[in-house]
Structure 1
């Protein structure tokens, strides 16, 4: 069986960690090794893991000083892996979801069959308040430049091959994301893999119940609701895309077309609109999402402050 290291980032997850841990331990037809990194929880999360799962996890790291974001915690976990560790794949896991028993084997089979380096998938959005569910669709056809303006899916669906993890480590160690507004590991990992001209497989099948609850940091951003629209609009006008473009530029060759796209996107209103008019539907997988992106860009005459 293939061996998968599952990286779990935890913070004050006492209400949900048992269900998530149990669902990971029930994965079929793969060997699972669990690494947990706790971001200085103030509740009983660590005590639950130590008392109930100490014999089932391989590594428990407790950040004495919290990173302040799951994204940073995940990247630190990736960087702690070494060539001496034995594994075939690495998967990322939130603390509050529930996995289908075949989530990992489905990812492994898809990666091997498609010869891809990274796996992502659709999700089932699960509202914990009323137990309702809906499909969160991410498997729209990939576009030539979509990785410049969006992630592959939620990071908790990501599975990476061993060789791409070791390659990404050499890049990530030189990235300063400490002052990156709204830093997203979901977006960064998809960007890095695609920028290396490697294939990403996005599965149309959902193998994860993505729990939405009051303690979610970003969970409600993935629902169809008035709250989601307000939050996404706020992020847009606060420069979400602008700041990501500025940081991505640092990781690109200055003579590449991708660099020129992002450079023009961050210069001025007219150059920004020029990018969207020229490359349009090649910038995002979901055409409806692009049209919304185009509309907000068109009515936003202000260029956010650079970082």
Structure 2
């Protein structure tokens, strides 16, 4: 019997790419899936276009249209809170502009079962208009506090059990400040890790990850992408998001890190010396160490 999976697709001005994504979702091997689409208020008639093209397919469902969420994260929170996730075995996120390999969901579910984990993410192959492709490697070993400083890779690779989904939805619904975290995938990873759910990051890529100027964050695989991320750091966005997560999951260890993060420079310098606990990849550990030492976070 095939596993039942709900795929949650957030769309905003997505007509340029969304057909390729939907087609790749509908071609998934050996799963029984329903696709739930939430369209943020758009200017390119995305909702009307998708409704006209796909509304007769029995496994595609549209959430009511007309609200402005303003970010992919808030749209995904809306999906989680309004899709009957409890009717499925697994839940998956999908962006509007990627292309999934046909065995993406099948392989994710197999990995979750074989490794007795609750959540799955994977590496991706980034690609852009120039047809070049590059592996984005996020599968380094997890470290003690990495979930406060980074997500588990692109959220569009996430597949997770109904048990984790149900508890996370309850958390979203009942925890003040939870939906203020801008990145849904980062919040889910932090929630899972802080609540002792096991998370597997697969080194095998599961999809093509489209890069373009409208990406909210995107892959850090070029100088322009690096500059964009550095501007987020210098603008204190990164620090603010870390603080939001630490306030939500405020155990005794986290209180110490939070205090040092928001106290004086000597405290942040002491954090720099512990950067190996905060990021998975060596390059990112070193970058974080330097940024903390230079008082840029």
Q: What TM-score range do you get, normalising by the shorter chain?
A: over 0.9
Match of 1:250, SS?
Answer: helix
For 2:110 and 2:192, the matched residues in 1 are separated by 19
Partner of 1:120: 121
1:290 matches 2:291:
no
Give a deviation string over 1:246-273, Cα, whole Å, max 9, x none.
212322244x212322232122221122
Taking a change above 3 Å as real, the CA distance of residues 3 and 95 of structure 1, as seen in their structure-2 partners, is same
For 2:35 and 2:208, the matched residues in 1 are separated by 19
Once the 2 structures are TM-superposed, how far is the Cα of residue 17 of structure 1 from its aligned partner?
1.0
Partner of 1:37: 38
Of 254, 266, 270, the match for 1:270: 266
Query: Which shows bigger deviation, 10-19 or 169-178?
Result: 169-178
Once the 2 structures are TM-superposed, how far is the Cα of residue 148 of structure 1 from its aligned partner?
1.4
Taking a change above 3 Å as real, the CA distance of residues 294 and 63 of structure 1, as seen in their structure-2 partners, is farther
For 1:212 and 1:202, the matched residues in 2 are separated by 21
Taking a change above 3 Å as real, the CA distance of residues 144 and 66 of structure 1, as seen in their structure-2 partners, is same
Query: Which shows bigger deviation, 91-100 or 62-71?
Result: 62-71
Give a deviation string over 1:152-172, Cα, whole Å, max 9, x none.
011101111001000011211
For 2:280 and 2:48, the matched residues in 1 are separated by 42
Give a deviation string over 1:236-295, Cα, whole Å, max 9, x none.
1111332123212322244x2123222321222211221231x33121100111101111
Match of 2:164, SS?
Answer: helix
Once the 2 structures are TM-superposed, how far is the Cα of residue 147 of structure 1 from its aligned partner?
0.8
Which structure 1 residue ranges, 5 or more long, are not aligned?
A: none
Moved over 3 A (4+): 177-180
User: Is contact 1:283–1:290 with CA below 8 Å preserved after alignment?
Assistant: yes
Query: Which shows bigger deviation, 40-49 or 95-104?
Result: 40-49
For 1:246 and 1:214, the matched residues in 2 are separated by 28
Give a deviation string over 1:22-64, Cα, whole Å, max 9, x none.
0000000000100000001221322232122113344212442
Per the normalisation by structure 1, the TM-score is 0.91
Give a deviation string over 1:109-156, Cα, whole Å, max 9, x none.
0111111111100000011x2111000000001111111111101110
Partner of 1:155: 155
For 2:220 and 2:293, the matched residues in 1 are separated by 24
User: Is contact 1:117–1:164 with CA below 8 Å preserved after alignment?
Assistant: yes
For 2:284 and 2:65, the matched residues in 1 are separated by 37
1:78 matches 2:80:
yes
For 1:175 and 1:23, the matched residues in 2 are separated by 36
Partner of 1:60: 62
Once the 2 structures are TM-superposed, how far is the Cα of residue 178 of structure 1 from its aligned partner?
6.3
Match of 2:41, SS?
Answer: coil
Alignment of 1:9-28 (within 5 A): 9-28=10-29
Once the 2 structures are TM-superposed, how far is the Cα of residue 102 of structure 1 from its aligned partner?
0.1
Which structure 2 residue ranges, 5 or more long, are not aligned?
A: none
Match of 2:287, SS?
Answer: helix
For 1:276 and 1:136, the matched residues in 2 are separated by 25
For 1:7 and 1:35, the matched residues in 2 are separated by 5
Match of 2:140, SS?
Answer: coil
Alignment of 1:42-191 (within 5 A): 42-56=43-57, 57-82=59-84, 85-127=86-128, 129-173=129-173, 174-176=175-177, 183-191=182-190
Query: Which shows bigger deviation, 1-10 or 240-249?
Result: 240-249
User: Is contact 1:245–1:266 with CA below 8 Å preserved after alignment?
Assistant: no
